[in-house]
A and B are shown apart, each in its own frame.
Chain A
Amino acid sequence: MVTNDKTTNDITQRVFYEVSKLAWNGELEEKKELLPEEMIPGPHPQYRCCIYREREIIRERVRMARGLCPGKKDTKNIVQVIPAACDDCPLAAYSVTDNCHGCLGHACYDSCHFGAISFNREGNRVRAHIDPNKCKECGMCARACPYGAIVDLVRPCKKACPVGAITMDPESGLCQIDENKCIQCGHCIHACPFGAIGAKTFIIDVINMIRSGAKVYAMIAPAVEGQYGKDITVDSWRAALKKAGFADLIEVSLGGDLTAAAEADEWTEAWKNGGGKTTSCCPAFVAMIRKHFPELKDIISTTVSPMCGVSRMLKEREPDCVTVFIGPCQAKKAEILDTEVSGNADYALTFDEAYQMLRGKGIDLEPVEEFTQQGSTYGKHFGNSGGVAAAVIQCMKEQGVDTTDLKVKVCNGAAECKTALTLMKMGRLPEKFVEGMICQGGCVQGPSRQKTLQELTKDREEMIGRADSREVHENLKMQDADKVRMHRSEEV
């Protein structure tokens, strides 16, 4: 997978590994201050201006791995800017390059509706100039120029943010995240070529829980199949996690079945009454509605997420157990901070965090013989765009509902979600039911993805293909999970 952040991602992973190793040995408190120097021995810097800045960046990353804010200011956001790593790249979006020939066509000038373009004479050459105070960043001029002389220099983090939450601190030039707008999708993290955005982790909390002797269950996202090649199955994860001290691993595809069944009842009811509903499993999509389309909040399904469903199932069986979600998602960490929903996972880790946590204890993921199936193939496809809607419709059919005329808008990625919600707000979305996933491709392409959709799909489908064709309700009975409470609030 070619990414923007290969090098910085390697550094992030190394920090997770080193911090985990110390935590497993109970030496974190004592030795955490030594990590920056150990990781950046010097004397010459590798990437930055000097080793002292490189070490400061490591120090801030270690803080985040421990669940703290990287800088001095303590804020609640999961996604955080690492101040020492931010390169304060220029914020002026559109800029004229040397490719400008000063032609007579003036397509750039004619395309601009805001009068931002003028022409300056430099020696015997004429060159276009964009007034940053007038430019609205529409990009018309860049598209109009026959020489491709106008480039979009918008900060990669800002470009990646689907909700316009990233701005620049005018004094320091560093990026800042508007926490009232941020939906914790984590798209900016991997967009920054300097690795200047990261996320807090629960790595230490999970390790401490296991070390304390608590009964800790892992719950792995349905997006896992295919991420680590076709030989690393859910059973591989189970074997490795048990070696690390987890009591067991439950597939969240079972939670997908739970959510689909409950959402199907909700959708059927809404459909009968001429209303509509959205899905509720993507926490970033739910946050997008709550923060940016609050007038639509009543249309969000009141069913809890698959993660919460499995956690509740486990806690109903063993009230004192600790539940840890492992998945591709950053926003799941925010979901569990929402105290309104009870019984949700106690902690959430990304694939990278869980993988390095295991490595920190000298455990690797290995192929195993066993094959266990806890979710239906419908639940397993919750991690793909379109998979949730398909599972809900399947459940409606299982309950004898004729879904021929049910129209669902599947929103694949943040841009499509935003468009559909905007249309819905204006009453102009033809469909009344919406599946929303903020990551394009679905959870399989979440911020902690290991491969691109093209790279993983063949393996993934082959792995899911090993599962039998049991139906959703049938599976819930088989797993003794058909009584789990799936409503957000306590009373219902």
Chain B
Amino acid sequence: MLNVSICIGSACHMKGSREVISRLKQLVAENHLEDKVSLSGSFCTGNCQHAVCVTIGDTLYSLSPETTDEFFKNEVLARVGA
């Protein structure tokens, strides 16, 4: 199971973490990856300059609602081999 966690802290919230979450949920559902990818919210990890902060394992990615699709393709789909 690939865990993708999205920061819901105030800085990320203001930069659109809620939109990122709903878009990722939509993409997971569209690609039928519910059994391979799990999404979860996370507390602020203090990397607010990179908001919206998304982590897979120990790697931090800086997203915005506009770059979510690209992130999904390059980082999520590539990892689960779909």
The answer to whether A and B belong to the same complex is yes
Number of B positions contacting A (CB below 8 A): 20
Considering only residues 59-76 of chain B, those with a C-beta below 8 Å from chain A are: none
B50 within 8 A of A: no
- Bound: A322/B9 CA distance, A: 12
Considering only residues 282-305 of chain A, those with a C-beta below 8 Å from chain B are: none
B11 within 8 A of A: yes
Considering only residues 31-71 of chain B, those with a C-beta below 8 Å from chain A are: 39-46
Using CB atoms, name the residue of chain B closest to A74.
B45
A76 touches B40 (CB 8 A): yes
A-contact bits for B1-45, CB 8 A (1 contact / 0 none): 000011011110110001001100100000000000001111111
CB distance from A68 to the nearest CB of B (A): 6
Q: Which residues of B contact A337 (CB under 8 A)?
A: 8, 40-43
Q: Which residues of A contact B41 (CB under 8 A)?
A: 336-339
Q: Which residues of A contact B42 (CB under 8 A)?
A: 76, 337
B-contact bits for A56-70, CB 8 A (1 contact / 0 none): 000000000011100
- Bound: A346/B22 CA distance, A: 14
Q: Which residues of A contact B25 (CB under 8 A)?
A: 339-340, 342
- Bound: A206/B10 CA distance, A: 7
Number of A positions contacting B (CB below 8 A): 23
- Bound: A200/B8 CA distance, A: 13
A68 touches B46 (CB 8 A): yes
B-contact bits for A322-342, CB 8 A (1 contact / 0 none): 100000000000001111101
B11 touches A208 (CB 8 A): yes
Using CB atoms, name the residue of chain B closest to A68.
B46
B10 touches A209 (CB 8 A): yes
A217 within 8 A of B: no
Q: Which residues of B contact A67 (CB under 8 A)?
A: 9, 43-44
B43 touches A202 (CB 8 A): yes
B39 touches A339 (CB 8 A): yes
Using CB atoms, name the residue of chain A closest to B3.
A76
- Bound: A23/B40 CA distance, A: 27
CB distance from A348 to the nearest CB of B (A): 11
A85 within 8 A of B: no
Best-surrounded residue of A76, A206, A347 (most CB of chain B within 10 A): A76
Q: Which residues of A contact B44 (CB under 8 A)?
A: 66-68, 204-205
Write 16 A-B pairs (CB below 8 A) sorted by A numbering: A66-B46, A67-B9, A68-B44, A68-B46, A200-B43, A202-B9, A204-B9, A205-B13, A208-B11, A212-B10, A212-B14, A337-B40, A339-B6, A339-B39, A340-B25, A340-B39
Known: A68-B43, A200-B43, A337-B43. 17 other contacts (CB 8 A): A66-B44, A66-B46, A67-B9, A67-B43, A76-B40, A204-B44, A205-B13, A205-B44, A208-B10, A208-B11, A209-B14, A336-B8, A337-B42, A339-B25, A340-B39, A346-B13, A346-B18
Across the A-B interface, give the 5 residue pairs with the lowest CB-CB distance, nearest first.
Answer: A208-B10, A337-B41, A205-B10, A67-B43, A339-B39
